[in-house]
Amino acid sequence: MGRQCAGDQAMAKVVSGNALKRAVENQTFIKGGSLSCAEGLKYDFRLGTRILKASFGLPVDMSSMTEAERGQIAVDPGEVLFVLSEERVELPKNIMAQLSPKRKLSHDGILVLGGLCIDPLYHGKLLVGLYNFSSTRFPLRPGKKLIAAVFYELIEEEISELDPVETSIEDFPDELVRLIQNYRPVVLQTLQESLAETQRQLNALRTEITSGREWQEQFKTSLGRHDDQIEKLLKGLGEEKDNRSDAEKSFRQELSAMQARTWKLAAQLGAIIGGIGIVVSAIIGALVAHSLR
């Protein structure tokens, strides 16, 4: 055991090496432990046989199951269940522990839930929650290393500052059992299907918006073409109006000229007719005078 120091102030010392192994052999503050789990600075607590799983409703003990039944026990994808450690601890008032989940569990897609500190005077097993955030089942094997603990021996000053309270957990608390009875695991496959459907709807909406924009552009282009055609039509109508106005003006001028020529011709014709009348009258007069002789 080595005592840590900060300046001249003594701090808690780590229970390690031979001292940790003696605690396991003599079962002082680690009960039911194994020397194979004492590794240098830490002790690896193992998975016990007691589990609390939603599909069972109540705690079950895998030690009372057949080998085939135990082989079916697993943390399903998206599920949370609770387990107890194989070992017990009986910490005196001058010993505390810091916990750290085994790294391999996270590699397998398992997140360890729960406190990461064991206070002095705690008696009982470790209660640990396991959440499977992967897409595959994680089988539970009693005796598998679950969580590591580093034990610290406190000095008198630290003990008085902590003012520890004796607590104990030997099995799953009743409130946790009631909670797990109403718990329904999140089915990742259903969640993935929902996400896929949401993505499909988003893609359809994106396509619809894009199509709407394309339609708007096409409509805008069509309106532009219509505007050009209307402008050309209006221009043509204006030109036609001007042409008709010029034609009407030319027609009126031609009509006036024709009327003038008609009046002139009528006057000439009247003069001719008048001349002819005079000649005819002279001839008739001459004939009458001749006949009277």
The yes-or-no verdict on residue 262 having pLDDT over 50 is: yes
Strands (E), the chain: 2-6, 9-15, 30-31, 38-39, 42-52, 60-61, 74-75, 80-90, 95-101, 110-113, 117-118, 122-132, 138-139, 145-153, 167-169
Domain annotation for the chain: domains and CATH numbers = 2-186 (2.70.40.10)
- Measured CA to CA, the distance from residue 168 to residue 170 in angstroms comes to 7
How many other C-beta atoms can be found within 10 angstroms of the C-beta atom of residue 48?
22
Predicted local distance difference test score (pLDDT) of residue 206:
77
The end-to-end CA distance of the chain, in Å, is: 191
More confident residue, 284 or 117: 117
Give the residues across from 39 on adjacent strands.
42
Which of 72, 70, 81, 86 has its CA nearest to residue 130? 81
Residue 112 gets which letter from DSSP?
E
pLDDT of 2 reads 45
Closest C-alpha among 153, 86, 159 to residue 124: 86
Q: Which residue has the higher pLDDT, 152 or 201?
A: 152
Q: Write out pLDDT tens, residues 32-49.
A: 999 999 999 999 999 999
241 - beta bridge partners? none
Give the residue with greater pLDDT, 252 vs 72. 72
For the cut 60, the answer to whether the pLDDT of residue 73 exceeds it is: yes
What is the model's pTM? 0.61
Instruction: Output the pLDDT for position 5.
Output: 43
Q: Check pLDDT > 60 for residue 1.
A: no
Backbone φ/ψ region at 7: left (φ over 0), alpha (ψ -120 to 50), beta: left
- pLDDT higher than threshold 90 for residue 232: no
> Per-residue pLDDT for 7 more than 80?
no
Q: What is the pLDDT of residue 189?
A: 52
The pLDDT, as a whole number, for residue 247 is 66
Beta strand 122-132 pairing with 110-113: antiparallel
Res 187 pLDDT > 70 = no
Q: What is the mean pLDDT of residues 12-24?
A: 94
- Biggest CA–CA distance in the chain, Å, is 197
Q: What is the pLDDT of residue 195?
A: 64
Backbone angles phi, psi at 92, to 5 degrees: -75, 180
CA–CA dist 154, 4 (Å, integer): 11
Pairing of strands 30-31, 38-39: unpaired
Average pLDDT over the chain, rounded to an integer: 83
Q: Which two tokens stand for residue 26?
A: 């003599």
pLDDT at 122: 96
Residue 117 pLDDT > 60: yes
SS3 67: helix
CA 50 to centroid of chain Cα atoms: 39
Task: Please choose, from the candidates 88, 150, 147, 152, the residue with its C-alpha nearest in 3D space to the C-alpha of residue 120.
Answer: 152
